[in-house]
Amino acid sequence: MDYAENILGTIGNTPMVKMNKLVEDLPCLVLAKYETFNPGNSVKDRMALQMIEDAEADGRLKPGGTIIEGTSGNTGMGLALAAIVKGYKCIFVISDKQSKEKMDILRAVGAEVVVCPTDVEPDDPRSYYSVSKRLGEETPNSWYVNQYDNPSNAKAHYQSTGPEIWKQTDGKVTHFVVGVGTGGTISGVGKYLKEQNPDIKVWGVDTYGSVFKKYHETGEFDENEIYPYVTEGIGEDILPENVDFSIIDGFTKVTDKDAAVYTQLLAKEEGMFLGNSAGAAIKGVLQLKEQFQPEDVVVVLYHDHGSRYVGKMFNDEWMREMGYIE
Ligand SMILES: Cc1ncc(COP(=O)(O)O)c(C=O)c1O
């Protein structure tokens, strides 16, 4: 018999899938690391479990404890699955621009969800950074995860996602392209791949309204770069400790409109029903065309599943209201 001991045993070992129609104009092979095959339908299951196990190991998380996190949904789902199996409670703080589906999904797996306004400064007491920190301080026997600065986040990708990509491409990967939020995925995977072959190029996909690209290029944290944007999952108005700028070769920014339109195109042209940051990621790959040679093997990572976006990027009425389609 071949079975997992519980649902956590199904995390990782996701497929790699060749991109076809959408990348016809590129000279090289483009492969998608398809993370929706994780049980919580996103790459975040990997780091959620790693963060919990590391916190258990050094006593930050104690039996029967409450896990508190500010999460746009996917990390919460991963934490909630592990919490169910391991017997913890969860309180998640989420910003009001996130899709309703994400909030409903977190409640479906037993979490308490607190919704905060998006359009406030990170140090405003109403911001989701501030509220999650405060709940961490006020709730007895609780542990505040802090995926932004928690080193177990990037470590999970260094130990699992990176080695899987190396093995699945038989060491032939030449470029890794991925959306950047907390930075855990790009930093962990990028570090592992560059240790195997320092010539591998690591590109981050950023969004307009986020600080990453300018900070990487100039070293300046420019507050003028910050404004509300629609794209979910990538870009930040802070510099998370998990973003290791030294292993990133460059960033490309994708507009909200392009990210939304390409989220639809992934489904319609490739049969890949994926989240909004996947649309941004593949558009980022197309924008980087000049970087690629015929013999290159480009890996793009898709973070999450389309079901979380049926009220937005997969709703043509919403797409029209936003001015993204005619
Ligand atoms: C949908 C989605 N895409 C991309 C990201 C960015 O990944 P990372 O936080 O590892 O940089 C996240 C998480 O923040 C996400 O939820």
Distance 51 CA to ligand 1 centre (A): 15
The DSSP secondary-structure symbol of 97 reads T
Distance 2 CA to ligand 1 centre (A): 31
Ligand 1 within 6 A of CB of 187: no
Residues with Cβ within 8 Å of residue 246, at least 6 apart in sequence? none
Element (H, E) at 240: none
pLDDT tens across the length of the chain (326 residues): 999 999 999 999 999 999 999 999 999 999 999 999 999 999 999 999 999 999 999 999 999 999 999 886 899 999 999 999 999 999 999 888 777 877 888 999 999 999 999 888 888 999 888 898 899 899 999 999 999 999 999 999 999 999 999 999 999 999 999 999 999 999 999 999 999 999 999 999 999 999 999 999 999 999 999 999 999 999 999 999 999 999 999 999 999 999 999 999 999 999 999 999 999 999 999 999 999 999 999 999 999 999 989 999 999 999 999 999 99
Distance 43 CA to ligand 1 centre (A): 8
Adjacency order of strands within the sheet including 297-302: 16-18, 29-34, 297-302, 175-179, 201-207, 250-254
Task: Take atom 3 of ligand 1 and give the residue whose Cα is closest.
Answer: 233
Give the count of beta carbons closer than 10 Å to the beta carbon of residue 75: 26
Residues with Cβ within 8 Å of residue 45, at least 6 apart in sequence? 11, 12, 38, 39, 77, 78, 81
Catalytic residue of the set 18, 33, 44, 253: 44
Active site residue 214: no
Q: Convert 207-242 to b/e letters by CB count within 10 Å (16 or more is b).
A: bbbbbbbbbbeeeeeeeebbeebbbbbbbbbbebbb
In this predicted structure, what is the pLDDT of residue 98?
Answer: 77
Helix (H, G, I), strand (E, B) or coil at 316: helix
**Dist. CA 284–CA 62, nearest whole Å:** 42
Ligand 1 within 6 A of CB of 183: yes
**Dist. CA 293–CA 190, nearest whole Å:** 20
Task: Take atom 2 of ligand 1 and give the residue whose Cα is closest.
Answer: 233
In this predicted structure, what is the pLDDT of residue 325?
Answer: 95
β-bridge partners, 176: 202, 299
